[in-house]
């Protein structure tokens, strides 16, 4: 799967959260990462080509006044021409997934009716969701990171993998898909362990697979019981 | 949670602690969390199998 990550931030080098996310990019997948404001001029043909070749497109930015920074809007207005998106009825983005990674300075609970911001992130991102709809893309649930600087180390550790999964894991985000995501990565992770830790790594891999098989067996048993109940 | 799950989680945690790279530690700790989720799902599914099998009306 190819994931295109388009980052919009006017001062990327100063952003600890954006630098953290960049350092968290998974190494084992095809990820194309681009900083929109880092381009001196937008090469429309190149940008459109990148979009055509991606399976999942991620727009990543801090929330400025309930919207993306101006750089992303400029990119949209320049690259997403009417002819490209839908004008000639070819819909080159159809079937691709569009995900939003948004960082906010306010806590998650602020983004609800009655909360400090009085607006949900889904409502604030409505224009982008409408764009996805127009382009016949699949809209992914928003990945929001609230108050990054206040996160504890354990939360930052969890964020690394949650972010990697948002970029590369099949949707919807079910236990089954989460298990598959880890199963796929375990061999390479074990391979890079120091030799004296590899046996433990393999043991963990085998035990994890066993637990997964046990769950699958229970699911099968349950569906058999349900079938009999229907008879 | 079974002893086996606890054992597995301890092994993963030890391995995670030995990793110098932040993103590697993150991977193993997230796997540990997922093992906990597997154990909860296993309990729920076993409970449902028991509940659906225990049908006095069919005795």
Q: Which residues of A166-189 are buried (b: 16+ CB within 10 A; e: fewer)?
A: bbbbeeeeeeeebbebbeebbeeb
Q: Output phi, psi for A2, to 5 deg.
A: -105, 125
Q: From CA A136, how far away is CA A220, in angstroms rounded?
A: 35
Q: From CA A67, how far away is CA A70, in angstroms rounded?
A: 9
From the list B22, B35, B46, which residue is nearest A208 (CB)? B35
Contact between B33 and B25 (Cβ < 8 Å): no
Q: Give the max Cα distance, chain A.
A: 67
Angle formed by the axes of helices B22-53 and A175-191, nearest 10°: 140
Q: Are the beta carbons of A207 and B26 separated by less than 8 Å? A: no
With 70 as the cut, is the pLDDT of residue B59 above it?
Answer: no
pLDDT of residue B8: 95
Record the tokens describing residue A39, joined without a space.
């381009």
Segment A113-121 long-range contacts (CB within 8 Å, at least 24 positions apart): A117/A66, A119/A66, A121/A63
pLDDT of residue A229: 82
What is the average per-residue pLDDT within B3-20? 95
User: Which residues in A lie closer than 8 A to residue B22 (C-beta atoms)?
Assistant: 23, 157, 160
| Segment 10-49 of chain B within 8 Å of chain A by CB | 11-12, 14-15, 18, 22-31, 33-35, 37-39, 41-42, 45-46, 48-49
Q: From CA A31, how far away is CA A144, in angstroms rounded?
A: 20
Domain A2-172 of CATH type 3.40.50.1220? no
**CA distances in angstroms from A217 to A59, A214, B27, B49, listed in the order given:** 39, 5, 26, 11
Q: From CA A202, how far away is CA A208, in angstroms rounded?
A: 10
From the list A154, A197, A225, which residue is nearest B49 (CB)? A225
Contact between A108 and A148 (Cβ < 8 Å): no
**Residue of A206, A225, A229 to mutate when probing chain B, most B C-beta within 10 A:** A225
Tell me the ipTM for this assembly: 0.93
Neighbours of A15 (CB within 10 A): 17
The residues facing A67 across adjacent strands are: A64
Q: Are the beta carbons of A157 and B18 separated by less than 8 Å? A: no
Q: From CA B43, how far away is CA A220, in angstroms rounded?
A: 15
Domain ranges of chain A: 2-172, 174-231
**CA distances in angstroms from A173 to A24, A93, A180, A219, B16, listed in the order given:** 19, 22, 11, 18, 24
Contact between A73 and A45 (Cβ < 8 Å): no
DSSP reduced 3-state for B26: helix
Q: Which residues of chain A have pLDDT under 50?
A: none
Q: Are the beta carbons of B48 and A185 separated by less than 8 Å? A: no
pLDDT of residue A188: 96
How confident is the model over A24-45, as pLDDT tens digits?
A: 999 877 999 999 999 999 999 9
Q: Are the beta carbons of A208 and B8 separated by less than 8 Å? A: yes
Q: Are the beta carbons of B26 and A157 separated by less than 8 Å? A: yes
Contact between A58 and A167 (Cβ < 8 Å): yes
Q: How confident is the model at residue B56 (pLDDT cuts 50, 70, 90)?
A: confident
- Give the gap in angstroms from C-alpha A90 to the nearest C-alpha of chain B: 40
Cis geometry, peptide bond prior to residue A172 (ω within 30 degrees of 0): yes
pLDDT of residue A109: 98
């Amino acid at each position: 799967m190819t994931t295109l990550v388009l980052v919009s931030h006017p001062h990327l080098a100063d952003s600890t959260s954006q630098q953290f996310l960049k350092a968290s990019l998974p190494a084992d997948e095809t990820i194309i990462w681009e900083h929109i404001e880092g381009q001196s001029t937008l090469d429309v043909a190149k940008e459109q080509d990148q979009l055509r070749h991606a399976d999942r497109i991620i727009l990543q930015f801090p929330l400025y006044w309930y919207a993306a920074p101006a750089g992303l809007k400029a990119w949209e207005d320049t690259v997403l021409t009417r002819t490209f998106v839908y004008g000639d009825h070819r819909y080159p983005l159809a079937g691709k997934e569009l995900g939003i990674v948004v960082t906010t300075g306010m806590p998650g609970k602020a983004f609800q009716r009655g909360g400090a911001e009085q607006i949900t992130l889904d409502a604030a991102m409505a224009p982008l969701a409408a764009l996805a709809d127009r382009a016949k893309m699949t809209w992914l649930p928003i990945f929001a990171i609230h108050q990054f600087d206040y996160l504890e180390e354990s939360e930052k550790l969890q964020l690394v993998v949650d972010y990697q999964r948002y970029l590369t894991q099949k949707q919807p985000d079910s236990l089954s898909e989460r298990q598959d995501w880890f199963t796929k990565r375990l061999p390479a992770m074990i391979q890079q362990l120091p030799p004296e830790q590899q046996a433990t790594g393999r043991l963990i891999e085998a035990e994890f697979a066993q637990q997964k098989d046990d769950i699958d067996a229970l699911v099968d048993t349950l569906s058999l019981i349900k079938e009999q109940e229907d008879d | 949670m079974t002893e086996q799950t606890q054992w597995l989680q301890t092994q993963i945690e030890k391995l995670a602690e030995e990793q110098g790279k932040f993103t590697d530690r993150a991977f193993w700790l997230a796997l540990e969390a997922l093992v906990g989720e597997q154990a909860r799902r296993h309990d729920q599914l076993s409970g449902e199998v028991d509940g659906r099998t225990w049908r006095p009306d069919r005795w």
